[in-house]
Amino acid sequence: MNAFLATVRRDLLLALRRKSEVLTAVFFFVIVTSLFPLGIGPEAVLLKKIAPGILWVAALLATLLGLPRLFATDHVDGTLEQMVLSPSPLGLLVAGKILAHWLLCGLPLVLLAPLLGLQFDLDASALGILTLALLLGTPLLSLIGAIGAALTLGVRGGGVLLALLILPLYIPALIFGAGAVEAHIAGLDASGHLSLLAAMLALAVFFAPWATTAALRVALE
Amino acid sequence: MRQSIVQWFRFASPQSFYPLAGRMIPWFWAAAIVFGIAGLWISFFVAPTDAQQGEGYRIIFVHVPASWMSMFIYLVMAFWAGLGLALNTRVSAMMAQALAPTGALMATLSLVTGSLWGKPMWGAWWVWDARLTSELILLFLFLGFMALQAAIDDPRRADKAGAILALVGVVNIPIIYFSVKWWNTLHQGSTINLNKAPSMAQTMLWGMLLMALAFWMYSIAVALMRVRAIILERERNTEWVKHALE
Amino acid sequence: MHWNSVGEFFAMGGYALYVWGSFGACALLMIVEPFLARRRLTQARTILARERLADELDLQQKNS
């Protein structure tokens, strides 16, 4: 457990030294969501209807932006190889790195989403559901994304390839995440969507670090 | 018992699989052609006109087999890839690599025929129907697998990375399918479905099964052809390949 | 057999474009794909044959 926390702490500290990288993803999220009303028109009814989808797709893409760096810098300076050789299980260290990625790339989106939701005329309870859905969904995005980041580690054209591999796997999260908010706006109960998101998160917490570890070992062979 | 297992592993070496595949290919082609002719005969001359969809329903005789095969090939591909990862057998990983383009082709055919069916029936080339959407995602998964393997230069690493991706995909496919279906019912999907001809006569089912068999045999034949090419490309520096061409 | 004439068969009850389009697309791709697979195999063979020829020439030069 100590190794896990140490990895999280280390990644957070490293990110604090390079603040711009974290801020890029956040700004990307803000800009993309603000572009949609400009492209579609300022009609409040329509914007309210498409808000959950837009916010979720933007969150998806913003998470994707930080993923190539998840293992790349550690791979270049040799830290990753040290991690593989270290006595503490690699899965635990990988889980720590994923958690750090979520804290840096996922959590800011969750915190910003209600503010951006205001731009789309969502009411307070819908904003609550949106935040809750993102809180459950963004860790899922980080976990699945880590598998793709490990698979494309050091591969040419890695960033684009990562998007091609990972985006189809993000579809369930997108459907249930955006669906929860849509259901709530339509006056239906959103708890079904949210519990499915939670179930997928539980599944991913269990399997994704393991698959990521396997992919990392392949990449480092 | 032990003897037979050893026998099986013998075929797992590229050296003995290459000629074996070469001997099997004509048989699979023959089977594909026979089943194909029988299936086409039933689909055009035996199966009756559908009361609701007229002659347009005959598209299901290629659409449904293509959809089935695309899903089935993904499973088989993941199986061979997983086997290659677990047992480190080279041929199974090559087999997975050889199957992917055929799977992508089947998914493409399923989408093309689906939209050709959709235009007269739904009035649009594309409708976000649960099955068509899942098929599109499946195509993306095939393309992702192929792109990942193509991007990695070291073949052993490409095999293993592809295997992990294929296995992750297999775990995800049911979740994706279920979520797309859920999404579709929530948004009031189309009522007439491509895969349920309203009065599915016995002959229609036979036609579909025969065509599916033809597609299956075709897929095996093409995959074996491709795996032979892959074996030669990868094993070009080994002694046996130099003698195999005589 | 429920087609009265060849023309009726090809008209497919007004669905000619869609039905023949579907079957045609399948036929086309299923002819092209084996052709491509075949070409990949022959290409692999040609490269191997060339490499072997080069090896033999090397050997001859060394011997002479």
pLDDT in tens, A17-45: 888 878 888 999 999 998 988 998 888 88
Helices (H), chain B: 2-11, 14-41, 60-87, 90-122, 130-151, 155-186, 202-234, 239-244
Judged by CB atoms closer than 8 Å, whether chains meet at B148 and A200 is answered as no
The mean per-residue pLDDT over the stretch A110-121 comes to: 89
Q: What pLDDT shows up at residue B189?
A: 47
| Contact by Cβ (8 Å): A29, A59 | yes
Judged by CB atoms closer than 8 Å, whether chains meet at C48 and B241 is answered as yes
What are B93's two structure tokens? Answer: 């990983």
Query: What residues does B54 pair with on adjacent strands?
Result: B50
Q: What pLDDT shows up at residue A220?
A: 86
CA dihedral A189, A191, A196, A202 (to 10 degrees): 170
Contacts of B31 (CB under 8 A, 6+ apart): B213, B217
Instruction: Give the nearest partner residue to A214 out of B148, B152, B164, using CB atoms.
Output: B164
**Percentage of residues in chain A with pLDDT exceeding 90?**
47
b/e sequence B158-195, b meaning 16+ C-beta within 10 Å: bbbbbbbbbbbbbebbebbbebbbbbbeeeebbeeebe
Question: Is pLDDT of B126 > 80?
Answer: yes
Best mutation target among B145, B165, B180 (most A Cβ atoms within 10 Å) is B165
Least confident among B72-81, C21-30, C46-55: C46-55
The angle, 0 to 180 degrees and rounded to 10, between the axes of the packed helices B60-87 and B130-151 is 40
Instruction: Give the nearest partner residue to B229 out of C19, C29, C41, using CB atoms.
Output: C41
Tally of CB atoms within 10 A around B79: 17
> Cα–Cα distances in Å, from A26 out to A31, A135, A170?
9, 15, 19
Q: Which backbone phi and psi does B128 adopt, to 5 degrees?
A: -80, 65
The mean per-residue pLDDT over the stretch B96-113 comes to: 95
What type of residue sits at position B215?
F
Instruction: Give the nearest partner residue to A175 out of B141, B148, B182, using CB atoms.
Output: B182
| Contact by Cβ (8 Å): A59, A114 | no
Quote the DSSP letter at residue B56: G
Tally of CB atoms within 10 A around B6: 9
Question: pTM for the full model?
Answer: 0.90
Distance CA A193, CA A177 (A): 7
pLDDT one-digit tens code per residue, A140-193: 999 999 999 999 988 887 788 999 999 999 999 999 999 899 888 888 888 888
Residue of chain A whose alpha carbon sits nearest to that of B172: A169
Query: What mean pLDDT value characterizes chain B?
Result: 86
Would an 8 Å CB–CB cutoff place C32 in contact with chain B? no
Q: What pLDDT shows up at residue B212?
A: 94
Q: Which of A93, A106, A155, A94 is nearest to A135 (CA)?
A: A106
Quote the DSSP letter at residue C13: G
Q: What pLDDT shows up at residue A94?
A: 92
What's the 3-state SS for A1-45? CHHHHHHHHHHHHHHHHCHHHHHHHHHHHHHHHHHHHHHHCCCHH
Q: What is the ipTM for the molecules in this complex?
A: 0.89
Quote the DSSP letter at residue A87: S
User: Which residues in chain A touch residue B152, judged by CB atoms under 8 angstroms apart?
Assistant: 155
The mean per-residue pLDDT over the stretch B16-34 comes to: 92
Would an 8 Å CB–CB cutoff place A197 in contact with chain B? no
Q: What pLDDT shows up at residue B63?
A: 92
CB burial of residue B242 (10 Å; 0-12, 13-18, 19+): middle
Distance from CA of A13 to the nearest CA of B (A): 31
Distance CA A163, CA A174 (A): 15
* Reported confidence tier of residue C1, pLDDT bands at 50, 70, 90: low
Distance CA A139, CA A106 (A): 7
Tally of CB atoms within 10 A around A154: 13
More confident residue, A174 or C62: A174
Long-range contacts at A116-121 (CB < 8 A, ≥ 24 apart)? A116/A29, A116/A30, A116/A33, A116/A34, A116/A55, A117/A51, A117/A55, A119/A33, A119/A34, A119/A37, A119/A47, A120/A37, A120/A47, A120/A48, A120/A50, A120/A51, A120/A54, A120/A55, A121/A44, A121/A47, A121/A48, A121/A51
Question: Is pLDDT of B198 > 60?
Answer: no
Question: Is pLDDT of B178 > 90?
Answer: no
Helix (H, G, I), strand (E, B) or coil at C58: helix
Distance from CA of C19 to the nearest CA of B (A): 6
| Contact by Cβ (8 Å): B97, B159 | yes
Residue of chain C whose alpha carbon sits nearest to that of B65: C26
Distance from CA of B149 to the nearest CA of A (A): 10
Quote the DSSP letter at residue B43: I
Q: What pLDDT shows up at residue B36?
A: 95
Instruction: Give the nearest partner residue to B161 out of A151, A171, A182, using CB atoms.
Output: A151
Question: Is pLDDT of B185 > 80?
Answer: no
The yes-or-no reply on A/C contact (3 CB pairs or more, < 8 Å) is no
What are A115's two structure tokens? Answer: 């503010």
* Reported confidence tier of residue B118, pLDDT bands at 50, 70, 90: confident
Q: What pLDDT shows up at residue A83?
A: 86
Least confident among A100-114, B70-84, C6-20: C6-20
Q: What pLDDT shows up at residue B196?
A: 56
Neighbours of B (≥3 Cβ pairs closer than 8 A)? A, C
Least confident among A99-103, A170-174, B56-60: B56-60
Judged by CB atoms closer than 8 Å, whether chains meet at A183 and B186 is answered as yes
* Reported confidence tier of residue B34, pLDDT bands at 50, 70, 90: very high
Looking from the CA of B176 toward its CB, the CA atoms found within 13 Å total 24
- Give domain limits for chain A: 2-220
The yes-or-no reply on B/C contact (3 CB pairs or more, < 8 Å) is yes
Neighbours of C (≥3 Cβ pairs closer than 8 A)? B
